[in-house]
Amino acid sequence: MKNFVQPGDTLTIPAPASVLSGQPVIAGEIVGIASGDAASGAAVDVATSGVFELPKVAADAVTLGAPIYWDAEAELATTTETDNIKLGVAVAAAAASTATVRVRLSGF
């Protein structure tokens, strides 16, 4: 194909804010995980597919397959949709007593 550019599993974009490796990055409808540290506006590689272990809201008990959202203010994954951006789905249950949840990115 003459018009193929790249697979899209990783995108290099300007960081919308300062980010650390492993943190979610949200730039408009692009949702992914930073592959390295970057200052705001600097180029950062963002993984848009895969499974990542992320810190979660302590009170959330997560079931397998539950939609997972990113609370940018708290910088935590959550099951609460209101005012949060969808990251993907939980690929394993996570009890309220656990600090993390494993999330498969939706790759929108």
pLDDT digits (tens, 9 = 90+) for 30-56: 999 999 999 999 999 999 999 999 999
User: 93 and 75, same structural domain?
Assistant: yes
User: 56 and 31, same structural domain?
Assistant: no
pLDDT of residue 107: 66
Element (H, E) at 71: strand 67-71
Number of independent structural domains in the chain: 2
> Is residue 2 situated within a structural domain?
no
User: 55 and 30, same structural domain?
Assistant: no
Q: How far apart are CA 78 and CA 99, in angstroms?
A: 11
Region at 38 (left for phi over 0; alpha for psi -120 to 50; beta for the rest): beta
Q: For residue 42, what are the domain limits?
A: 10-47
User: 56 and 43, same structural domain?
Assistant: no
User: 67 and 38, same structural domain?
Assistant: no
Tokens of 63: 């079931």
User: 57 and 35, same structural domain?
Assistant: no
- The predicted model scores a pTM of 0.90
> Is residue 66 situated within a structural domain?
yes
Residue segments in the chain with a per-residue pLDDT below the cut of 50: none
pLDDT of residue 106: 85
Q: 85 near 70, Cβ under 8 Å?
A: yes
Q: How far apart are CA 49 and CA 87, in angstroms?
A: 10
pLDDT of residue 1: 83
